[in-house]
Amino acid sequence: MAFSLNSCPVIYRARYSQEGWKEEYLEKPHNTPEEEARLGGDEAAALMNSRNFFDDMPLVSYTTQYGLSCFEGLKALPQKDGGLAIFRPERNAARFNMSMKGLYMPPFPEDRFITAVKETVKRNAALGFSVSYKPEWEKNSFINADSIYIRPFTYSEGGIGVNISREPWVMVVISPVSAYFSAGTPDAVITERIRATPKGTGWIKAASNYTIAALAKHEAVEAGFIECIFLDAAERKYIEEGSSCNIFFYLKSGELATPELGDTILPGITRSSIIELARDRGIKVSERQIAIDEVIAEAKECFVSGTAAGATPLVSLTWQGKKTVFNNGKVGEITAELRDTLKGIQYGIIPDTKGWLVRVE
């Protein structure tokens, strides 16, 4: 199921003008979930297309012409005791607000963001578009567990000529998802491409950032890897992040290291959660520059983190044709512990003592 253009029928939309934000919930064409599951390929595609097209929004815009847009990704997760809970939506709300400011858009209020994502999930669930907890997910650390992916994003007003957006829309769509990474050995490769440059938009969750990421990820997959890892633009020797995820290394010294935030690194919410969980366990966590040479010499374990990725182990990293294998090609103890703790909290089998989950009632 992973990512797919399988949007649920209720979509949130808000538009900014001089009078402020005007919002609405749109109920697009739908049948029952059971009826939709029985549709043939052409019928299913036509139904999904009817949800994805809006004839009252401009084709030519600063978004379609220049990639001027930002977005978020967060999840509503089925709980063992029933219902759904959204993981740390206030952090996504703050980052979305920050991204819009970074693109000189009028920022979307954080409280309105939280209400919009909760209500969109709730309205779709009322129509039967949701996911339920399955005990068998616990057997393999929730690797193939389902959830509801929530995608808020901006779309600009009509325009052509390089410019900023002064009257954007904010949209929220949701869809069911499962595992992000495809099956196969979790090997990664250092790409020669550059994701972000100093003084650029790497710290913003901007749509334009993902063009290079998509190309590099495609090249990595074509070469037999599941992920690509970027080095810094200036010196080409420091690890930065993956195509859509932050990265961690557990070193022989007992230190858990991750690249420090700056204007080329996205401040991941899963990243910050893992840092907190690791420190709770007495693990020394460092946010600093990490050279590829240090990784080759000192790393015992490696994993990537993100809303879609969770905490996904990487068993090897290839650079300039040389393959470095971590932990004899097996998932490391620290990686597994942090992954299982994170997933346990998210799916409600470990008590949420931090208040990270917001229930959808």
In angstroms, rounded to a whole number, what is the distance separating the alpha carbons of residues 310 and 29? 32
Reduced 3-state DSSP string for 15-40: EEECCEEEEEEEECCCCCHHHHHCCC
Picking from 144, 177, 210, the residue at the C-terminal end of a domain is 177
- Does residue 346 belong to any structural domain of this protein? no
Residue where one domain finishes, among candidates 129, 155, 177? 177
What contacts 261, CB < 8 A, 6 or more positions away?
203, 267, 287
**Residue-level pLDDT at 1:** 43
Domain that holds residue 94: 10-177
193 lies in the same domain as 169: no
> Are the C-beta atoms of 252 and 334 separated by less than 8 Å?
no
**Alpha-carbon gap, residue 231 to 298, rounded angstroms:** 17
Mean pLDDT of 220-243: 97
Mean pLDDT calculated for residue range 186-209: 96
Let me know if residue 355 belongs to a domain: no
pLDDT value of position 309 = 85
Q: Is residue 128, in this structure, part of any structural domain at all?
A: yes
How confident is the model at residue 94, as a pLDDT?
Answer: 98
Whether residue 158 sits in one domain with residue 36: yes
Residue 155 shares a structural domain with residue 240: no
Which of helix, strand or coil describes residue 97? helix
The tally of domains found in the chain comes to 2
Q: 29 with 123, same domain? A: yes
Last residue of a domain, one of 177, 206, 222: 177
Predicted pLDDT at 213 = 97
Q: Do 197 and 71 sit in the same domain of this protein?
A: no
241 and 258 in contact (C-beta within 8 Å)?
A: no
Could you tell me if residue 109 is inside a domain?
A: yes
First vs last C-alpha separation in the chain: 25
Burial class (CB in 10 A: 0-12, 13-18, 19+), 57: middle
**Quick check: is 306 in a domain?**
yes
User: Which CATH number belongs to the domain containing residue 111 in this structure?
Assistant: 3.30.470.10
Here the CATH number for the domain that contains residue 218 is 3.20.10.10
3-class secondary structure for 314-339?
CCEEEECCEEEECHHHCCCHHHHHHH
Do both 24 and 153 map to the same domain?
A: yes
42: three-class secondary structure by DSSP: helix
Q: Residues 169, 194: one domain?
A: no
| Tokens standing for residue 252 | 């022989």
- State how far the alpha carbon of 153 is from the alpha carbons of 179, 227, 347, in Å: 22, 24, 25
pLDDT 10s digits, 253-295: 999 999 999 999 999 999 999 999 999 999 999 999 999 999 9
In a domain, 119, yes or no: yes
The confidence score (pLDDT) of residue 3 equals 60
Mean of the per-residue pLDDT values of the chain: 95
**Same domain, residue pair 196 and 156:** no
256-274 burial, b for 16+ CB within 10 Å, e for fewer? Answer: bbbbeeeebbbbbbbbbbb
Please report whether residue 114 resides in a domain. yes
Rg (CA), the chain: 21
Q: Is residue 2 part of a domain?
A: no
User: Do residue 156 and residue 39 come from a single domain?
Assistant: yes
Separation of alpha carbons 134 and 140, rounded Å:
12
pLDDT at 181 over 90: no
Helices within the chain (DSSP H only): 33-37, 41-52, 62-66, 89-102, 110-126, 209-222, 269-280, 292-298, 333-346
The pairing of beta strand 299-306 with beta strand 147-155: unpaired
Q: pLDDT tens, 71-85?
A: 999 999 999 999 999
C-beta atoms surrounding 247 within 10 Å: 28
